[in-house]
Amino acid sequence: MATIDYDVTPGGALQGSLRVPGDKSISHRSVILSALAQGESRISGLLEGEDVLGTVAAFRALGVAIDGPDKGHLRVQGVGLHGLQAPRAPLDFGNSGTAMRLMAGLLCAQPFSSELIGDQSLMSRPMARVALPLQRMGAQIDTAGGGRPPLAIRGGARLTGIRYEMPVASAQVKSAILLAGLYAQGETTVVEPAPSRDHTERMLAGFGYPVERMGRAVTVRGGAGPLRAGTLEVPADLSSAAFFLVAGSIVPGSRLVLARVGINPTRTGVIDILRAMGARIDVQRETIVNGEPVADLLVEASTLRGVAVDPALVPLAIDEFPILFVAAACAEGTTVVRGARELRVKESDRLAVMAQGLTALGIRVEEFEDGLAITGGPLRGGVVDSGGDHRIAMAFAVAAHRAQGPVRVRDCRNVATSFPGFDGLARAVGMHIRVSGS
């Protein structure tokens, strides 16, 4: 398989307006629920990254007619909750843990069997935390050694609703259980120890399916009605915007406007953390789109300072920590993040890979089992390895713009899973980034 590296030369101020690709979490869910709805749904703003395209391919394999995507537009002919067909081969979700976990919840309720696989990275990631609560509901689902993929799901299981107290806040696990709960007898309730992304709950309600929310508990009742097709707009992804929020904050003289970004309150931890560090981020032109809050974000360069990150914000910024660690490296003083053990089981061990990369660029890092302490200082040039992790690759590309010399970021091919065209947008606002392949 071809590899891709980023070669980044430090540069000056970043300027301009841009729109980053559609929200990945919402894109996945819009495809899933549109497929389960009755009638045709039209989606705009869809992220055309490899992860979401894998979800589209999976539903085609499950007998759903889908037109597109074409410039972010997708038409889905929903088959209803009971209209999926047995796939003829294992469903391959590539690098997407989100897709595999959510689809496990959906597929364990179907009358047919299925097998879920992925790439080398995904096949090493833990799936027991999804499989165990689904098994409690009656699902017939088996994992490989260590609770890892492939997932073998035997069809025809009768599911019963449960009340599940989650040990760790996870929108993926919560969503998998709620999707299974659409088919289960009685009520299915998920109780979170801390807030996590609530896109699934919002979107189910938008499709007309009743959802009850009380505090940190979310409840659905099986067979409570059909999902009704509709028109959906996917807002720009805050996780993708975060790279430019940090870039605009750490590069002197910079001013960037990011258009129509989703600012769901379960996702805005990255903004709260950056503001606590002294970032100048202004939320403008707020509106509501399909139940999701959307706004333009203006960021201007500022002097960041190290902080002890509030543990309550960690689940609200879990995907943004690679770029937040770069912000910490450029801040005055020390930033401490604890309670982020979840980062060790993402597309890479993000704590270890970020610590190694920042150290290679001359930053002092202390690594804990559940976090990092990063002392800001000058970034030197050099070579870092992304570990094949898309968010780490982009984070170090941003860091390189502030370095004292050129930086090569290795193994960046997976950036296409979440942010196709990242390098082009980066160049458009003033970054000096060159893509090389072998």
Residues annotated as catalytic are: 319
Nearest of 405, 386, 387, 404 to residue 395 by alpha carbon: 386
Per DSSP, the residues of 209-271 read ---EEETTEEEEETT--PPBP-EEEPPBPHHHHHHHHHHHHHSTT-EEEEEEEE--TTTTHHH
- List strands edge to edge, sheet with 91-92: 91-92, 114-117, 148-154, 140-144
Full 3-state SS string of 360-424: HCCCEEEEECCEEEEECCCCCCEEEECCCCHHHHHHHHHHHHCCCCCEEEECCHHHHHCCCCHHH
CA atoms of 200 and 197, how far apart (whole Å): 8
CA atoms of 345 and 341, how far apart (whole Å): 8
Pairing assessment for the beta strands 73-79 and 65-70 based on DSSP bridges: antiparallel
Classify residue 410 as exposed, middle or buried by CB count within 10 Å of its CB (0-12, 13-18, 19+).
middle
**C-alpha 297 chain-centroid distance:** 19
Q: How many CB atoms lie within 10 A of CB 183?
A: 21
Whether the CB-CB separation of 429 and 256 falls below 8 Å is answered with yes
Classify residue 228 as exposed, middle or buried by CB count within 10 Å of its CB (0-12, 13-18, 19+).
middle
| Element housing 102 (H / E) | helix 97-107
Q: Quick check: helix, strand or coil at residue 32?
A: helix
CA atoms of 336 and 230, how far apart (whole Å): 44
Q: Is the peptide bond before 226 cis (omega within 30 degrees of 0)?
A: no
CA atoms of 3 and 170, how far apart (whole Å): 31
Q: How many CB atoms lie within 10 A of CB 438?
A: 6
Long-range (24+ apart) CB contacts under 8 A made by 366-370 are: 368/338, 369/341, 370/338, 370/339, 370/340, 370/341
